[in-house]
Amino acid sequence: MARVKTLNDNILIKEVKKEAENISDTGLNLNKIADHLFEGIVSESESITNLLSGNAELAASLKETVSQTESVANSSEEIISGVNELAASIEQITGNTQNLNSSIAEVASSIDQNTRSVQSISANAQEMATSAVQISTSMNELASSIKGVSNETDNLMSSVNETASSIEEIARSIKGVAENADDLSSASEQTSSSINEMASSIEEVSATTENLTSLIEQVATSIEESSKSSQSIAQNVEVISQASLNASSAANQMENSIKSMTKMTKQAEDIGNRILKDAEEGIGTAQKSIQSFSKVTESMIASSKVITEMGKRSNEIGRIVDAINMIAERTNLLSLNASIEAARAGEAGRGFAVVAEEIRNLADRAAKATSDISDIIRSLQEVAQEAVDSSKEGLKIAEEGNRMAENSLIGLNKILTGVKDTAMIITQVAKATEEQAQASQSTTKAINETTAQVKHISIASNEQVKTAQSIAQNALQMKKIAQQVSIAMAEQGKTAREIIKAAQNSSSLASLVRKATAEQAASASQVTQAVESMRKGAALTSKAIKEQSIAVEQVSKEASRLSTLISHVTRSVSEQASASKQLTVATEDIRKQSDQITKGIVEQSKAMKDINMAIQNITKQIFKITKANKEQALTVDNMLGSLKNAQKITESNSNSVKLLKNNAQDILDKSKTLISIVENVS
C-alpha cells in the first residue's frame, strides 16, 4: 500500500520537477529579456541624457540669442528715444554691463573653484570605488570559503543520514517530501505573487513606455517647430542683414551728398562774398552819381538863372528899341509935316523940302533898323525862353535822375544787407553741413558695426538651425528606440502571461503533492521523530551555513552594487567636472560677449537719429526674432520638461526592470531549490 502511494508520489514529483524545470527555463528567458530590456532602457536613458544636454545647450544658446537680440532691440529703442537719453542710459548700461562682467568673472572664478572641488570629489570617489572593488573581491573570496564549509557540512550530514536506519530514511524522506511540498507550495505562491507583481510592473512599464512614446513624439514635433522657427529666425536675420547693408549704402550716399553740399555751400559763400563786393562797389558808384547829379542840378539852375537874366535884359533892350522906334515914327511924322509945309511955301520951301526928305529917309532907316533889332530881340527872347524851358526840363530830369540814384542807393543797401544775411546763413549752413558730415561718418560707422553684429547673429542662428536639426535627428532615434522598447515590453508581457500560467499549473500540482504528502506525513511522523533530533542538528548547521552563505552573497552583491554605485558616482562626478568646465567656458564666452555688448553699446552711442528708420526696421525684425526665440525657448523648456518626464519614466522603468530581474532571479533560485528537492525526494 505504501509502495503504491510512493509510486504515485513519484509520478507527481516527476511532474512537479518537470514544471519546476519549465519555470526555471521561463525564469531564465525572463532574466534574459529583462537584461535586454535593461540594456535598451540604459541606451534610452543615455540618449535622453544626450538629448537633455543638447537641449540645455540649445536653451542656453537661445537664451543667449534672446538676450543678444533683446539687448540690440533695447539699444535700438533707446537710440530712437533720443540721443541725450541714449548717452546717459548707455553709460548706465555700460556700468551695469561692467558690473555684470565683474560678477560674471566672479561667477567664473567660483565655477573654477567648483570644478576643482568636483575634481577632488571625483578623485576621492575613484579611490572609494577602488576600495569598494577590493571589498567586493574579498567578500567573494569569503563567500567561496563559506561555500566550501557548507559542502563539508553537507558531507557530514550525508554520513549522518547514512548511519540512520532505512525506515528513518523513508520517514525522513517522507517528512522531507512534506516539508519540501510545503516549501514548494509557498514557493509557488511566492512565485505566483512575484510573477503577478512582475506582470503588473510590466504593464506599468508598458503604459509608461506608451506615455514615453507619445511624449517623445510631442518632443519630436516641438523640436521640428523649434527647427522651423530657427530657420525663420535665420531668414529674418538675413532680412536684417540686407536692411543693414541697404542702410549702409544709404548712409554712404548720404555722406557723399553731404560732401557735395559742403562744396556747394563753399561756392555759395564765395559767390556771396563777390556779390557783397559788387554791391559795395555799386553803392560807391551810386553815391558818386548822386553827387554828380546834384552838381548837374546846380549848374542847370545857374544856367537857367543866367538865361532868365538874359531874357530880362533883352526885354529892356526891346523897350529901348520901342523908344527908338517911337522917335523914328515921330521923326517921320515931323518930316512929312515939314514936306507939307514946304510944298505949301512953293518955290521958297524947296530947300526945306529936300532937308525934310533926308530927315524922313533917316527916320525910315532908323525905323527899319529898330524893326530889325526888334525881330532879332524877339527871336532872341524866344530862344531864351526855349533855353529856360529846356533848362527847367533838364532840371526836372536831373531831379528825377537824382531820385532814381537815391532809390538805387536804397536798393543797393538792401541788396548789401540781404547779401550779408545770405552770407551769414551760408556760413551757418556750411557749419551745419560740416557737423552733418561728421555725424554722417559716425552713422556710417555705426551702421557698419550693426551689420557686423547682424552677421554674428546670422552665424549663431545658422548654428542654432544645425543644432536643432541634429536634435530632431536624435529625437527620431529616440522615437525608434522607444518603439523598440514598446515592442520588447509587449513581448515581455506575453512571456509574463505564460509564466503566470505555468506558475498557476505548478501551484495546483504543488497543492496535490501537499495533499499526498500530508497523508504520508501522518504515517511517517512516528518514524521521523526518532531521526529528528539527529537531522535537526545537521539541518540547523546546514541552514545556518546556507543562511551565512546567502548573507555573504548578499554582502558581496551589496559590495558590488556599492562598487557600481561608486563608479556611477565617479562617472557622474567626472561628468559634473566636465560640465563645470563647459560651464566655465560658457561663462567665459558670456563674459566675452558681454564685453562685446559693452563695446557695441559704447559704439552705438555714436549712432544718429538719421538712421532711426533703418534701426526701427531692424528693431521690428529683432522683435520678430525675439518673439520667435522666446517661442523657441518656451518650446525648448517644454521639451526639457517632457525629456525630464521621459527620464523619470525611464528611471522608473529601469527600477521596475531591476525589480523584475530580481524577481526572475528569485524565481530561478527557487525553482533550482525545488528541482534539487524534487531530485532528493525522487
CA dist 70 and 233 (Å) reads 14
Which residue, 337 or 682, has its beta carbon nearer to another protein? 337
Q: Which three cell numbers stand for residue 477?
A: 532615434
Which residue, 4 or 346, has its beta carbon nearer to another protein? 346
Least separation, in Å, of the C-beta of 360 and another protein? Answer: 7
CA dist 122 and 554 (Å) reads 27
Burial 651-666 (b: 16+ CB within 10 A, else e): eebbebbeebbebbee
CA-CA-CA-CA torsion for 317, 320, 324, 326, nearest 10 degrees?
120
Which residue, 367 or 531, has its beta carbon nearer to another protein? 367
Which residue, 353 or 586, has its beta carbon nearer to another protein? 353
Least separation, in Å, of the C-beta of 373 and another protein? Answer: 15
Q: Which of 496, 527, 468, 515 is nearest to 660 (CA)?
A: 496
Least separation, in Å, of the C-beta of 329 and another protein? Answer: 5
Least separation, in Å, of the C-beta of 314 and another protein? Answer: 20
Q: Which of 221, 198, 179 is nearest to 479 (CA)?
A: 221
Which residue, 363 or 569, has its beta carbon nearer to another protein? 363
CB 216 within 8 A of CB 646: yes
Rounded to an integer, what is the distance from CA 182 to the centroid of its chain? 74
Which residue, 335 or 563, has its beta carbon nearer to another protein? 335
Least separation, in Å, of the C-beta of 382 and another protein? Answer: 21
Q: Which three cell numbers stand for residue 322?
A: 520901342
Which residue, 188 or 325, has its beta carbon nearer to another protein? 325
Which residue, 151 or 371, has its beta carbon nearer to another protein? 371
Least separation, in Å, of the C-beta of 385 and another protein? Answer: 24
Least separation, in Å, of the C-beta of 351 and another protein? Answer: 13
Least separation, in Å, of the C-beta of 344 and another protein? Answer: 8
Task: Report CA torsion sign: 268, 269, 272, 278.
Answer: negative
Which residue, 3 or 344, has its beta carbon nearer to another protein? 344
Q: Around Cβ 533, how many Cβ atoms within 10 Å?
A: 8
Least separation, in Å, of the C-beta of 375 and another protein? Answer: 16
Which residue, 333 or 518, has its beta carbon nearer to another protein? 333
Spatial neighbors of 169 by CB under 8 A, at least 6 apart, are 161
Which residue, 289 or 332, has its beta carbon nearer to another protein? 332
Helical H segments across 82-165, by residue range = 83-163
CA dist 297 and 299 (Å) reads 6
CA dist 354 and 396 (Å) reads 62
In the complex, the residues that contact another protein under the rule CB under 8 A are: 325-326, 329-330, 332-333, 335-337, 339-340, 343-344, 356-357, 360, 364
Q: Which of 4, 2, 9, 5 is nearest to 180 (CA)?
A: 9
Rg, C-alpha atoms of the chain: 67
CB 55 within 8 A of CB 471: yes
Which residue, 354 or 551, has its beta carbon nearer to another protein? 354
Spatial neighbors of 540 by CB under 8 A, at least 6 apart, are none
Least separation, in Å, of the C-beta of 340 and another protein? Answer: 5
Which residue, 183 or 357, has its beta carbon nearer to another protein? 357
Using CA atoms, how far residue 614 sits from 119, 440, 602, 610, 617, in Å, is 51, 14, 19, 9, 5
Q: Which three cell numbers stand for residue 126?
A: 575613484
Least separation, in Å, of the C-beta of 378 and another protein? Answer: 16
CA dist 680 and 682 (Å) reads 5
Which residue, 269 or 357, has its beta carbon nearer to another protein? 357
Rounded to an integer, what is the distance from CA 563 to the centroid of its chain? 47
CA dist 629 and 229 (Å) reads 8
Amino acid found at 112: D
Least separation, in Å, of the C-beta of 345 and another protein? Answer: 12
**Crossing angle between the packed helical segments 166-345 and 2-81, to the nearest 10 degrees:** 10
Least separation, in Å, of the C-beta of 334 and another protein? Answer: 9
Burial of 166 (0-12, 13-18, 19+ CB in 10 A): exposed
Least separation, in Å, of the C-beta of 393 and another protein? Answer: 35
Q: Which of 464, 478, 467, 472 is nearest to 222 (CA)?
A: 472
Which residue, 301 or 373, has its beta carbon nearer to another protein? 373
Least separation, in Å, of the C-beta of 363 and another protein? Answer: 9
Place of cell 543562511: 547
CA dist 355 and 335 (Å) reads 8
